[in-house]
Chains A and B, each alone.
Chain A
Amino acid sequence: MSNILEVNKVVKQYGDYTALNEVSLTVPKGSIYGLLGPNGAGKTSLIRIINQITMPDGGDVILDGEKLKPEHVAVIGYMPEERGLYKTMKVGEQCLYLAQLKGLSKQEAKQQLDYWFERLEIQGWWNKKIQELSKGMAQKIQFVVTVLHKPKLLILDEPFSGFDPVNANLIKDEIIELNKQGTSVIFSTHRMESVEEMCDYIALIHKSNKLIEGKLIDVKKKFRSNSYEVGILSDNIEGLMYDLSQKFTLSQTDFKSLNDELKLEINLGNATPNDLLNTLVQRGQVTHFVEKIPSMNDIFIKTVSEK
């Protein structure tokens, strides 16, 4: 079994409103999977179904080869977008309680807690109440609570919101470390940089439907426009422009460089990169030649606004 999670044609309706319309996903084991979509797309509905907080009206969910059942809550770690802890409960007691609810024994929970508190350097917080902690500190506790029971599948809804850059980085490293140890991670986020940086796979949900799914790199290939960013130093700019416009579509662009060169974005159409290079080298000194890779942000906006 190579998939940790398979979602098959899941339907969820609230009255007349369809929150999920036959959505299917496949999350390979050991991957970091980005679940993307604008607000109200149905991400949270889907995540709640995976967590068995709500039941689907149709379709099914297979977790690690088995149909979803109540015992599975012990192998999933879930951090909701709306973070929450008991404000008046002490940190240590609260973590123990939540870990025990996930099925850990008290001793196991304590061991794990000691490990994580030491790792995140928060040993002194055991007897503090949540309301005495800052928002960022509470987020750390929330993360610990999510991973305490060594879940096979980690579901994180906007994991970096509320963290300062230092702590966000710390948590990011922890997530990557857990992933290396074999934990599969599902990420729901708007922050496209972190998707580019961390995800192997992505799915885009929009208006209750899944629009894109696949390896990040495959998705990007699908959205490549065959355009190149070119920088060239030339004495005869007019001649160069004439040559280029005969064969390609051009537009002015800008990128950082140390030279005062002509910067162009060139769409190859049916030509090959070598055709372009040949044309360029005849007219001047090429300083920059890079394929324009669509960013996740571009893909997201393009897909969402098309529909």
Chain B
Amino acid sequence: MSKTLLIIKREFVAKVRNKSFIVMTFLSPLLFVAIGVFVGYLSTMKAELKTIAIHDETGRFVNEFKTDQEYKYVDLSQVDLKTLKDSIVSESYEGLLIIPKLDDNAKLQKGIQYVSNDSPSVSFTEDLEDIIAKKITAENFQKAGLDTLKINNAKADVSIYLEKASGEQALKGLNEIKIIIGGAFGYLIMMFIILYGNMVMRSVIEEKTSRIIEVIISSVKPFQLMMGKIIGTSLAGILQFLIWAVLGLSAMFILSGMLGVHMGASGAAGAQAVEAAQHSGSDIQMYIKELWNLPIATILISFIIYFIGGYFLYSSFYASIGAAVDNETDSQQFLLPIIMPLILGVYIGFFTVMNDPHGTIATVFSMIPLTSPIVMMMRIPFGVPTWQIIVSMLILFGTFLGVVWFAAKIYRVGILMYGKKPSWKELAKWLRY
């Protein structure tokens, strides 16, 4: 067996046997489910009923406010303002809406007050304003002698029918689905890089602090050790994801079997599809059809390639950082510049790609190797020309080769250096040793 293979095997076994790996693998899906259930439970919980006092001196508006699940409106127009304000301070009521007696609607518009201890939410204030504005508008129409019925009939409700150039009906909200799918893959890559990159770094530090490193590199080349470590760790990560995928799929089958839920509705189409289903039954089939029309093969193949490329690129950084420092605390100053581009990638993905998947910014960042695994994964569901994907992958792997060369140099020197925390300047010096 070649030495690199031996190292890969040892690293893999060491990672997989580790208690934290086993715990992570089987506990984190449970945790995810638990969080999902918890959030779901929270959103079904009814908010506490708040009572709003209305002091309407005009008497024209008070009936417009309808009590609902969240807010209860009480007409306290007869009570004097001073007492009411005191009761707000003593928290008998959540808030007090004061509509003064002003005949001129133009003045009334500016004269309405809301008094409360806590500042009200924007949507609540908007609701109040809406109700009053509607009433005033209606009154204005009447005063001007306009027929409200005719006006209402004259209002048009436009809904644009979306169609693709190929002639099929296009669906609203599809972009959101695409960004969710692309985003999930991009996010996964980022998580994996950070999680497993850190593992590579820790394992390098462990070899350094336990001083076994000198024994090992008297048998193998430092480069072999570094690559073996990176590959072995990545295999452990892939195994973890495979387990998650199997667990997730079987959980979904069991759940849908138990609840008798139609797979399409509970599955990938997500919230948008459910919403669409409420409007018309056939839409949901169209969403599912659209999903199948996504470049699924391209997505999956690209995911694996970007996953490997991005992980290899970043873990060479992590390995050389691990070699440069003596303990994890010292690694912070070197880690920041590594995590920054990852986060930048995710931000660009969610903000720029969503609005303009093929714009200059999105295209450029899907070529830059530090962000391309994330940004390109988010772009692919929108349909990216194959040549762009290939160029971006070539740049990624080319950069990886360059970075690994540098990383190996720092690694080679770093693993034998003890005792002091190196500066960036020193790292640069090591490249010339």
With beta carbons under 8 angstroms apart, the residue of B1, B206, B219, B416 that contacts A98 is: B219
Q: Report yes or no: B215 in contact with A98, Cβ–Cβ below 8 A.
A: yes
Q: Report yes or no: B6 in contact with A97, Cβ–Cβ below 8 A.
A: yes
**Nearest Cβ in chain B — how far from A69, in angstroms?**
12
Q: Given that A70-B221, A73-B218, A89-B14 are known contacts, is A80 also in contact with B429, CB under 8 Å in the complex? A: no
Q: Report yes or no: B218 in contact with A51, Cβ–Cβ below 8 A.
A: yes
**Nearest Cβ in chain A — how far from B380, in angstroms?**
41
**Residues in B49-81 with C-beta less than 8 Å from chain A:** none
Asked if B152 lies at the interface with its beta carbon under 8 angstroms from chain A, I say no
**Cα distance A101–B416 in the bound complex, in angstroms:** 19
With beta carbons under 8 angstroms apart, the residue of B6, B14, B206 that contacts A100 is: B6
**Cα distance A76–B218 in the bound complex, in angstroms:** 9
Q: Given that A14-B433, A101-B3, A101-B6 are known contacts, is A82 also in contact with B221, CB under 8 Å in the complex? A: no
**Cα distance A54–B214 in the bound complex, in angstroms:** 11
**Nearest Cβ in chain A — how far from B5, in angstroms?**
10
**Residues in A77-92 with C-beta less than 8 Å from chain B:** 78-80, 82-89
**Cα distance A70–B223 in the bound complex, in angstroms:** 13
**Bitwise interface map of B from 174 to 212 toward A, beta carbon under 8 Å scored 1, else 0:** 000000000000000000000000000000001100111
**Bitwise interface map of B from 213 to 257 toward A, beta carbon under 8 Å scored 1, else 0:** 111111111000000000000000000000000000000000000
- Closest A residue to B220 using CB positions: A101
- Closest B residue to A97 using CB positions: B10
Asked if A124 lies at the interface with its beta carbon under 8 angstroms from chain B, I say no
Which of A48, A51, A86, A87 neighbours the largest number of chain B CB atoms within 10 Å of its CB?
A86
Contacts of A78 in B (CB 8 A): 214-215, 218
Contacts of B206 in A (CB 8 A): 86-87
Q: Report yes or no: B6 in contact with A80, Cβ–Cβ below 8 A.
A: no
Asked if A15 lies at the interface with its beta carbon under 8 angstroms from chain B, I say yes
**Bitwise interface map of A from 170 to 198 toward B, beta carbon under 8 Å scored 1, else 0:** 00000000000000000000000000000
Q: Report yes or no: B213 in contact with A84, Cβ–Cβ below 8 A.
A: yes
Asked if A53 lies at the interface with its beta carbon under 8 angstroms from chain B, I say yes
**Nearest Cβ in chain B — how far from A70, in angstroms?**
7
Contacts of A88 in B (CB 8 A): 14
Asked if A152 lies at the interface with its beta carbon under 8 angstroms from chain B, I say no
**Cα distance A202–B232 in the bound complex, in angstroms:** 44
**Cα distance A145–B220 in the bound complex, in angstroms:** 15
**Nearest Cβ in chain B — how far from A245, in angstroms?**
55
Contacts of A83 in B (CB 8 A): 211
**Cα distance A97–B219 in the bound complex, in angstroms:** 11
With beta carbons under 8 angstroms apart, the residue of A51, A73, A80, A87 that contacts B210 is: A87
**Cα distance A89–B213 in the bound complex, in angstroms:** 14
Q: Report yes or no: B219 in contact with A101, Cβ–Cβ below 8 A.
A: yes
Q: Report yes or no: A80 in contact with B215, Cβ–Cβ below 8 A.
A: yes
Asked if A210 lies at the interface with its beta carbon under 8 angstroms from chain B, I say no
Q: Report yes or no: A53 in contact with B210, Cβ–Cβ below 8 A.
A: no
With beta carbons under 8 angstroms apart, the residue of B6, B210, B217, B432 that contacts A86 is: B210
Asked if A29 lies at the interface with its beta carbon under 8 angstroms from chain B, I say no
Q: Report yes or no: B433 in contact with A102, Cβ–Cβ below 8 A.
A: no
**Residues in B346-373 with C-beta less than 8 Å from chain A:** none
**Nearest Cβ in chain B — how far from A246, in angstroms?**
59
Chain A interface, number of residues (Cβ within 8 angstroms): 28
**Residues in B327-342 with C-beta less than 8 Å from chain A:** none
- Closest B residue to A79 using CB positions: B215
Contacts of A80 in B (CB 8 A): 211, 214-215, 218
**Nearest Cβ in chain B — how far from A176, in angstroms?**
23
Q: Report yes or no: A100 in contact with B1, Cβ–Cβ below 8 A.
A: yes
Contacts of B416 in A (CB 8 A): 48, 53-54
Q: Given that A78-B218, A100-B1 are known contacts, is A15 also in contact with B429, CB under 8 Å in the complex? A: yes
**Nearest Cβ in chain A — how far from B322, in angstroms?**
15
- Closest A residue to B219 using CB positions: A101
**Cα distance A86–B7 in the bound complex, in angstroms:** 13
With beta carbons under 8 angstroms apart, the residue of B14, B216, B429, B433 that contacts A101 is: B216
Contacts of A86 in B (CB 8 A): 14, 206-207, 210, 212
**Cα distance A14–B210 in the bound complex, in angstroms:** 24
**Cα distance A51–B222 in the bound complex, in angstroms:** 13
**Cα distance A63–B206 in the bound complex, in angstroms:** 32
With beta carbons under 8 angstroms apart, the residue of B10, B14, B219, B433 that contacts A73 is: B219
Contacts of A53 in B (CB 8 A): 214, 217-218, 416
**Cα distance A206–B215 in the bound complex, in angstroms:** 25
- Closest A residue to B418 using CB positions: A82
With beta carbons under 8 angstroms apart, the residue of A70, A84, A100 that contacts B212 is: A84
Contacts of A14 in B (CB 8 A): 433
**Cα distance A82–B216 in the bound complex, in angstroms:** 13
Contacts of B212 in A (CB 8 A): 84-86
- Closest A residue to B217 using CB positions: A53
Q: Report yes or no: A84 in contact with B433, Cβ–Cβ below 8 A.
A: no
**Cα distance A70–B218 in the bound complex, in angstroms:** 10
**Cα distance A54–B430 in the bound complex, in angstroms:** 13
Contacts of B211 in A (CB 8 A): 80, 82-84
Contacts of A87 in B (CB 8 A): 206, 210
With beta carbons under 8 angstroms apart, the residue of B10, B14, B210 that contacts A85 is: B210
**Cα distance A263–B244 in the bound complex, in angstroms:** 86
**Residues in A34-51 with C-beta less than 8 Å from chain B:** 48, 51
Contacts of B219 in A (CB 8 A): 73, 98, 101-102
**Nearest Cβ in chain A — how far from B3, in angstroms?**
6
**Bitwise interface map of A from 10 to 23 toward B, beta carbon under 8 Å scored 1, else 0:** 00001100000000
Contacts of B217 in A (CB 8 A): 53
**Cα distance A142–B3 in the bound complex, in angstroms:** 20
**Bitwise interface map of B from 403 to 433 toward A, beta carbon under 8 Å scored 1, else 0:** 0000000000000100000000000010011
**Cα distance A48–B416 in the bound complex, in angstroms:** 10
- Closest B residue to A87 using CB positions: B210
**Cα distance A73–B206 in the bound complex, in angstroms:** 24
7 cross-chain CB contacts under 8 A: A53-B416, A54-B416, A78-B218, A82-B214, A86-B206, A100-B1, A101-B219
Other contacts beyond A80-B215, A82-B214, A84-B210: 16, CB < 8 A: A14-B433, A15-B432, A54-B416, A80-B214, A82-B211, A84-B212, A85-B215, A86-B14, A86-B206, A86-B207, A86-B210, A100-B6, A101-B216, A101-B219, A142-B215, A145-B215
Q: Nearest 3 pairs between A and B by C-beta?
A: A84-B211, A84-B212, A101-B219
